[in-house]
Amino acid sequence: DTEVTQTPKHLVMGMTNKKSLKCEQHMGHRAMYWYKQKAKKPPELMFVYSYEKLSINESVPSRFSPECPNSSLLNLHLHALQPEDSALYLCASSQDRQIITEAFFGQGTRLTVV
């Protein structure tokens, strides 16, 4: 199994809603990442988890709250988002921060904030 699974694939939420994005991998990877990608732009790093601990936060607004409950699962909790937060949210995983073969990416969640 070399997949990173993200759910949901599409999400529409209001600015007062609370929602969560989910990412799952069963490759035994110990590094997991959240990226935000706007249309026709490269992905921008948001968060990095290493061995279930948050290791990098790229100054992301607090309305985005990551969580890594176990080594296979990564969540991104969303609250009070703005329309400009509408984007494709990509999850990725890699074997380890020190051992890099490649990053495996999920198909992303297309988020629309209305």
Partner 1 sequence: AQTVTQSQPEMSVQEAETVTLSCTYDTSESDYYLFWYKQPPSRQMILVIRQEAYKQQNATENRFSVNFQKAAKSFSLKISDSQLGDAAMYFCVEYNFNKFYFGSGTKLNVKP
Q: Closer to partner 1 by CB, 79 or 105: give it.
A: 105
Q: Give the shortest CB-45-to-partner 1 separation in angstroms.
A: 6
Chain mean position to CA 71: 14
Output the 3-class SS for 37-82.
ECCCCCCEEEEEEECCEEEEECCCCCCEEEEEEECCEEEEEEECCC
Q: Give the shortest CB-13-to-partner 1 separation in angstroms.
A: 19
DSSP-based three-state secondary structure for 85: helix
d(CA 76, CA 62): 11
Q: Give the shortest CB-4-to-partner 1 separation in angstroms.
A: 10
- In the complex, which residues of this chain contact partner 1 (CB under 8 A)? 31, 33, 40-43, 45, 48, 50, 55-56, 88, 90, 92, 97, 100-105, 107-108, 110
Q: Closer to partner 1 by CB, 18 or 38: give it.
A: 38
Q: Closer to partner 1 by CB, 31 or 68: give it.
A: 31
